Structure 1
Amino acid sequence: MKIAVIIGRSLLGLIYVLFGLSFFFHFIKIPAMPLAGREFQGALLKSGYFFQFLKITEITCGAFLLINRYTAFFLVIISPVTLNIFLFHVFLSPPGLTFVIMMLAINLFLGYAYRKYYHSVFTSVPLV
């Protein structure tokens, strides 16, 4: 299990760092997507801040996953991003869904692997 966690953590971190940096430096060619996906992505780009914030978050979380520091925390931060990427591909742009399902599976596996760090978050009555 330890080897699987290291591989999953490294793979997810690498994916987020590479795709985050590619937004700024354009070294990964993104294939054309259906009209609904392009319109949604265009609206987010027009906001002027959303994608920059998202990609910086992806790069930061991916880097911390790669160096294995604060991993449980950064998995919590990146999980909603992974879920939104998955939902985007399910509803607006089905091409690439296989890759995103793999990302979601790795994220869920890592969440399970680091579950002992989340026990205090799920207490019904916190001790103050």
Structure 2
Amino acid sequence: MTAVTRLVTHVDLDDGPTDTRQLSVSARLEAVLTDGRRVVLLDDRGWSSTAHGTGVDIRAYTSVEDIERTARTVVGPDEPMDGETEEQMAAAHWGALAGLLGRQGVEVDAHELERLPHDVVLSERLRAWLA
């Protein structure tokens, strides 16, 4: 039986504005399966950051660790809204991802999915921009 071994979020420079004052990136969450396949779970996430001040280079204040932390946040459960708790939002998020995998023939419990290792991979283009 195919199982999910880990989650991977791929982060790349967005086609939008990115320069020394602004960073714009996209994030794609995938599930890595024991048979080597990858299933895209989310491909509509991303964020932008802007440096404030004259002559400020955002790269001086942006680390790989910052990007990894933010990537995990933007593909993770959304903030609670309309009276829902963090626990309810998390349960709905992980349940939806488990359901998506189920439709692909991969049965996984939402709680197991939430506890999997979650790697973040920065594209070469993003790494070069940061350097």
In the superposition, the TM-score normalised over structure 2's length comes to: 0.29
Name the structure with the higher helix share: 1
